[in-house]
Amino acid sequence: MNGLDLRGPFDIAHVFDISKNAFIPIDLLPKQLIDGRIIVGKNLRCFIRYKKRENRGGYGSIHRIQRTPSLGKELCVKSPHSPTYSLCPEAILQWYASDILRRAGILGAIPHIYDIFQYAGETRFTMDFINGRSALQYVTEAADPDYIWLQILAQVSLLLGYLEETIYLDHRDLKADNIWIRETPVDYSLSVGGIVWKLKAPFQVVLLDFGFACLGNDEGHSIISLSDGIVPKIDPCPKEGRDLFQLIASVWSIPIIRERASRTIQNEMESLLTFKNTSYVHIIKQAHTTHWIYLAVSDARFRHPPLHPISLLLKLSADWPSVGLYK
DSSP string, 134-146: EHHHHHHH-SSHH
CATH number at residue 99: 3.30.200.20
- Domain range for 51: 14-128
Regarding whether 309 and 169 lie in a shared domain, the answer is: yes
Regarding whether 176 and 310 lie in a shared domain, the answer is: yes
Query: Which is higher by pLDDT, 146 or 92?
Result: 146
Q: Are 246 and 312 in contact (CB under 8 A)?
A: no
Regarding whether 137 and 115 lie in a shared domain, the answer is: no
Q: Are 28 and 40 in contact (CB under 8 A)?
A: no
Query: Which is higher by pLDDT, 229 or 246?
Result: 246
Residue 1 has pLDDT above 50, yes or no: no
What pLDDT score does 202 carry? 96
DSSP string, 49-113: EEEEEEEE-SSEEEEEEEEES--SS-EEEEEESSTTS--HHHHHHHHHHHHHHHHTT--SSSPPE
Whether residue 37 is contained in a domain is answered as yes
Under the banding of pLDDT at 50, 70 and 90, the label for residue 6 is: low
What pLDDT score does 47 carry? 95
Whether residue 5 is contained in a domain is answered as no
- CA-to-CA separations, 296 to 55, 231, 279, 280, 285, in angstroms, rounded: 28, 11, 12, 10, 16
Residue 163 has pLDDT above 90, yes or no: yes
Under the banding of pLDDT at 50, 70 and 90, the label for residue 227 is: low
Regarding whether 122 and 184 lie in a shared domain, the answer is: no
Regarding whether 244 and 120 lie in a shared domain, the answer is: no
CATH number at residue 296: 1.10.510
Regarding whether 256 and 180 lie in a shared domain, the answer is: yes
- Render the burial of 212-229: b for 16+ CB within 10 Å, e for the rest: bbbbbeeeeebbbbbbbe
Regarding whether 298 and 186 lie in a shared domain, the answer is: yes
Residue 247 has pLDDT above 90, yes or no: yes
Regarding whether 90 and 160 lie in a shared domain, the answer is: no
What pLDDT score does 48 carry? 96
Regarding whether 86 and 138 lie in a shared domain, the answer is: no
What pLDDT score does 182 carry? 96
- Taking alpha carbons only, the member of 233, 210, 116 closest to residue 163 is 210
Which tens digits make up the pLDDT trace of 268-283? 999 999 999 899 999 9
Residue 146 has pLDDT above 50, yes or no: yes
- Count of structural domains, the chain: 2
Which tens digits make up the pLDDT trace of 96-132? 899 999 999 999 999 999 999 999 989 999 999 999 9
Whether residue 29 is contained in a domain is answered as yes
Domain boundary pick from 106, 128, 150:
128
Whether residue 2 is contained in a domain is answered as no
Q: Mean pLDDT throughout 163-178?
A: 94
What is the rounded end-to-end Cα distance, in angstroms, of the chain? 34
Whether residue 6 is contained in a domain is answered as no
What pLDDT score does 14 carry? 45
Q: What is the mean pLDDT of the chain?
A: 89
Lowest mean pLDDT among 5-9, 27-31, 293-297, 310-314: 5-9
Regarding whether 107 and 41 lie in a shared domain, the answer is: yes
What pLDDT score does 233 carry? 62
Percent over 70 (pLDDT), the chain: 90
Whether residue 3 is contained in a domain is answered as no
Query: Which is higher by pLDDT, 222 or 58?
Result: 222
What pLDDT score does 58 carry? 67
Domain boundary pick from 88, 108, 128:
128
The three-point CA angle 201-207-208 to 5° equals 145
Whether residue 1 is contained in a domain is answered as no
What pLDDT score does 232 carry? 63
Q: Mean pLDDT throughout 245-251?
A: 97
**Which amino acid, 152?**
I
Which tens digits make up the pLDDT trace of 10-32? 444 444 443 344 457 778 888 99
Whether residue 305 is contained in a domain is answered as yes
Which tens digits make up the pLDDT trace of 72-85? 999 999 999 888 77
Distance between CA atoms of 231 and 71, rounded to whole angstroms?
36
What pLDDT score does 229 carry? 59
Q: Mean pLDDT throughout 35-47?
A: 92
The three-point CA angle 138-141-147 to 5° equals 65
Under the banding of pLDDT at 50, 70 and 90, the label for residue 2 is: very low
Regarding whether 236 and 148 lie in a shared domain, the answer is: yes
Domain boundary pick from 97, 128, 159:
128
Task: Give the three-state DSSP class for 127.
Answer: strand
Regarding whether 171 and 29 lie in a shared domain, the answer is: no
Q: Mean pLDDT throughout 35-60?
A: 87
